[in-house]
């Protein structure tokens, strides 16, 4: 995924560089990520946006019992809690895509990120998902495979919780990179990158 981002940033992937130039610029300032990819003639786009959708599935409820980590004490979420955090983030994001309105999603991201963006800007950044009829709803019954993290690191000048992984969707795997920061006792979203299938371009 990092190689793909490098190709986009340095112009080696000319087919997608123009489409996500604005998103890449926003990502640097906001701590969010975007990228595009191509498979079998279908464009796969990664983006962020705020708002839930009428046709998308509701956010999942926790599947297992666990004690919620207190982010204010730098407590890391358990594996089960991290599964729920990631799935809720991506399904909330999917809701916004289906509704083409990012207001609700914007209300759930970190205040730090809210100060640097707006629902309209997020929608612009992720218009490629909307135009391509991207749909992440199949992940609701899947378990994420983490390829890195969850772990804490320093990013954007602050401590961040980062998780990279994928869901076994078909015909291609849905990949994600997510970043969260501490706000109160919770980890709040400050960056998102998704690669998934779109049905038209």
Radius of gyration (C-alpha) of the chain in whole angstroms: 16
Q: What is the extent of the structural domain holding 42?
A: 2-197
Q: State whether residue 10 is helix, strand or coil.
A: coil
How many domains does the chain contain in total? Answer: 1
pLDDT given at position 40: 26
For residue 158, name the pLDDT band (cuts at 50, 70, 90).
confident
Residue 183, pLDDT > 90, answer yes
pLDDT given at position 155: 77
pLDDT given at position 63: 56
Do the Cβ atoms of 172 and 12 come closer than 8 Å? no
The answer to whether the Cα torsion of 173, 98, 17, 114 is positive or negative is negative
Do the Cβ atoms of 152 and 132 come closer than 8 Å? no
Q: Which residue has the higher pLDDT, 174 or 7?
A: 174
pLDDT tens column, 106-121: 999 999 999 999 999 9
For residue 66, name the pLDDT band (cuts at 50, 70, 90).
confident
pLDDT given at position 154: 87
Q: Which residue has the higher pLDDT, 168 or 1?
A: 168
Closest CA to 46 of 164, 148, 186: 164
pLDDT given at position 131: 94
Residue 65, pLDDT > 60, answer yes
């Amino acid at each position: 995924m990092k190689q793909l981002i490098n190709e986009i940033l340095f112009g080696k992937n000319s087919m997608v560089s123009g489409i996500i130039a604005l998103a890449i610029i926003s990502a640097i300032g906001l701590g969010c990520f975007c990228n595009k990819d191509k498979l079998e003639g279908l464009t796969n786009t990664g983006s962020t946006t705020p708002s839930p959708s009428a046709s998308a599935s509701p956010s999942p409820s926790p599947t297992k019992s666990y004690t919620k980590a207190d982010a204010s004490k730098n407590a890391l979420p358990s594996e089960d809690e991290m599964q729920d955090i990631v799935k809720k983030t991506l399904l909330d994001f999917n809701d916004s895509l289906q509704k083409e309105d990012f207001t609700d999603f914007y209300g759930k991201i970190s205040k730090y990120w809210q100060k640097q963006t707006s629902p309209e800007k997020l929608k612009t950044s992720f218009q490629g998902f909307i135009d391509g009829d991207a749909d992440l709803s199949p992940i609701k019954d899947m378990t994420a495979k983490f390829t890195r993290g969850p772990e804490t690191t320093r990013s954007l000048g602050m401590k961040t919780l980062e998780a990279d992984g994928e869901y076994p969707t078909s015909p291609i795997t849905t990949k994600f990179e997510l970043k969260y920061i501490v706000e109160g006792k919770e980890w709040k979203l400050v960056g998102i990158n998704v690669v998934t299938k779109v049905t038209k371009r």
